[in-house]
């Protein structure tokens, strides 16, 4: 059997295109649907929505509970998770060379934090603590990797938030045929706002899994095991290069890494967006509240156009959710093997990193350890936690609704890996849950009702399911019913055309 080149996809062009659009629209759909329970407890979500469904797109269901948080968005609108994915996409489109330049993305992110998206007339809503803190660093625009490290360092080097993972799907699409480039871009983008290795590797493995799905992985376990997805992984020097990249912007080992080279000539080509003179009143209200949320202080009055939900009867749960449920359909062997290969290939970044809390003593974990002993190093604990979260026994084990840890990077990437490695229910009791569309619908309901940081969890889940099953694997009225659908369609199609042209150029040269 002739080995398949690492840069070649076994899919046809239409299949690749469908998966790319599925990945991008899946990110937005998951994000928008998950907003319904974001920051709720699982008990609160059940009180409002029972066991689903939640009204979305053109589908009927329990209406979204509108409060001071959800009132910032219109029906079927997406949050900052997809906004930031779009910012990465626009950064890639600006340079159009297949590389994510950190300073270009940093400046685009900074600009968005001030003016939002003029193209959609939306403000910068939902900025998280880690991203907001890093944005306020005086060196952020010109040395973002240093800025994110300073924030992480000032918080005791224990801030593994999920903000780098929620936006990473597009980096699995860009240059999907070149895994070394996918890895480089994922590292570069994650480190713009997140310095914790746990946040970074979570973004990296999600991106790599998408790239392998676009190359045809996940359908034939034997064929996948024979493929060399990234030839450079065999090279110990490559391992050290990636470990050194984790040190960029830090004072680990040497102060020289605090000011890394960003190819400033590229960064200086940043093109500002035109700002419209008139801003709708609702945007002014929401933008003021966003800024207040970052720097502290009372919120501005909410736009009078927003009508909050008041008391309504406790939701009545369905007797039957219409399918077996995520924990009962079982693993898809080929998908699970593919996902495990991604984690296994890049786990060394966690096991061998020296970017750890300053109080941790780095030792050799291979010395004097028995199978009954607990991990001796923080790197080992991080590695075991990653594997436990990506391959849990059940969805319940992830505790997505845990109020204190809902924003942990491992949780959202774990939700994504768990969902994308499940089988499709062959015998659902409700036709709405048949096939890939029905699977997407059922998974979205189940994970959203776990609550917690549901929009981020579902952004990752949606992008991975879309990359596996394609755009036809998402209910059509969900993605066509998204707020700003026309803008998304134009933006995604322009990006898709450039990526596919680049892919075919590479194939023609082989």
Query: What residues form the annotated binding site?
Result: 79-81, 453, 455-456
Two tokens at 110? 């900074």
Which of helix, strand or coil describes residue 83? helix
Chain centroid to CA 92: 17
Q: Is the bond leading into 53 cis (omega within 30 degrees of zero)? A: yes
Residues near 455 by beta carbon (within 8 Å), at least 6 away in sequence: 30, 31, 32, 33, 34, 35, 38, 78, 79, 81, 166
For residue 408, what are the β-bridge partners? 161
Phi, psi angle pair for 122, to nearest 5° = -120, 145
Q: How far is the C-alpha of 302 from the C-alpha of 325, rounded, in Å?
A: 39
Give me the helix-helix angle, 80-95 and 102-115, nearest 10°. 130
Task: Mention every residue, 6+ apart, whose C-beta is less than 8 A from residue 32.
Answer: 56, 76, 77, 78, 79, 82, 455, 482, 483
C-alpha torsion 247→248→253→259, nearest 10? -170
d(CA 231, CA 203): 21
Q: How far apart are CA 79 and CA 125, in angstroms?
A: 7
Distance of alpha carbon 419 from alpha carbon 412, whole angstroms: 11
| Contact status, residue 206 vs residue 468, Cβ threshold 8 Å | no
Q: How far is CA 45 from CA 31, 33, 40, 141, 452, in A?
A: 16, 13, 6, 39, 9
Cite the annotated binding site for Mg(2+) by residue number.
79-81, 453, 455-456
Cα–Cα distances in angstroms (integers) from residue 361 to residues 262, 340, 385, in the given order:
31, 29, 19
- C-alpha 429/C-alpha 426 separation (Å) is 10
- Assign 408 to helix, strand or coil: strand
Q: Are 79 and 126 in contact (CB under 8 A)?
A: yes
Cβ neighbours around 258 below 10 Å, total: 18
**10 Å Cβ neighbour count for 304?**
9
**Number of Cβ within a 10 Å radius of residue 295:** 8
Closest by CA to 185, choosing from 163, 208, 162, is 208
**H helix count then E strand count, the chain:** 21, 0
């Amino acid at each position: 059997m002739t080995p398949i080149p690492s840069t070649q996809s076994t899919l046809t062009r239409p299949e690749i295109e469908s998966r790319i659009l599925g990945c991008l629209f899946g990110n937005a759909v998951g994000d928008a649907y998950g907003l319904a329970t974001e920051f709720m407890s699982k008990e609160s979500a059940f009180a409002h929505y029972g066991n689903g469904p939640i009204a979305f797109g053109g589908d009927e269901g329990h209406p979204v509970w509108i409060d001071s948080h959800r009132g910032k968005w219109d029906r079927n609108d997406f949050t900052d998770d997809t906004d930031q994915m779009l910012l990465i996409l626009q950064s890639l489109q600006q340079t159009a060379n297949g590389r994510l330049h950190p300073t270009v993305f940093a400046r685009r992110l900074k600009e968005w934090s001030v003016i939002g998206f003029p193209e959609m007339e939306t403000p910068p809503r939902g900025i998280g603590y880690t991203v907001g803190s890093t944005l306020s660093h005086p060196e952020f625009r010109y040395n973002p990797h240093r800025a994110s490290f300073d924030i992480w360092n000032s918080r005791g080097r224990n801030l593994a938030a999920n903000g780098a993972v929620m936006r990473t799907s597009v980096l699995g699409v860009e240059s999907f045929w070149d895994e070394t480039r996918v890895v480089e871009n994922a590292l570069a983008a994650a480190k713009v706002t997140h310095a914790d290795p746990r946040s970074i590797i979570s973004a990296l493995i999600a991106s790599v899994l998408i790239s392998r799905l676009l190359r045809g992985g996940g359908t034939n376990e034997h064929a996948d095991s024979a493929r060399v997805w990234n030839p450079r992984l065999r090279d110990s020097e490559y391992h050290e290069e990636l470990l050194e990249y984790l040190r960029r912007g830090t004072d680990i080992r040497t102060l020289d890494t605090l000011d890394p080279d960003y190819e400033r000539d590229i960064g200086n080509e940043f093109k500002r967006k035109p700002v419209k003179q008139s801003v709708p009143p609702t945007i002014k209200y929401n933008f003021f509240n966003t800024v207040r949320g970052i720097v502290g202080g009372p919120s501005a009055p909410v736009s009078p156009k927003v009508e909050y939900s008041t008391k309504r009867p406790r939701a009545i749960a369905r007797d039957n959710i219409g399918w077996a449920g995520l924990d009962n359909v079982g693993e898809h062997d080929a998908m699970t093997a593919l996902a495990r290969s991604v984690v296994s290939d890049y786990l060394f970044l966690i096991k061998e990193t020296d970017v750890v809390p300053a109080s941790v003593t780095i030792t050799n974990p291979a010395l004097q350890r028995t199978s009954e002993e607990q991990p001796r190093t923080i790197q080992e604990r991080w590695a075991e936690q990653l594997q436990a979260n990506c391959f849990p026994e059940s969805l319940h084990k992830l505790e997505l609704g845990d109020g204190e840890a809902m924003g942990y990077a491992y949780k959202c990437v774990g939700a994504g890996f768990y969902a994308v490695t499940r089988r499709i229910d062959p015998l659902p009791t409700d036709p709405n849950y048949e096939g890939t569309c029905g699977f997407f619908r059922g998974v979205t309901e189940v994970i959203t009702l776990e609550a917690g940081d549901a929009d981020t969890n579902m952004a990752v889940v949606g992008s991975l399911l879309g990359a596996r099953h394609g755009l036809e694997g998402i209910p059509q009225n969900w993605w066509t019913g998204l707020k700003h659908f026309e803008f998304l369609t134009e933006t995604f199609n322009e990006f898709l055309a450039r990526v596919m042209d680049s892919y075919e150029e590479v194939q023609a040269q082989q």
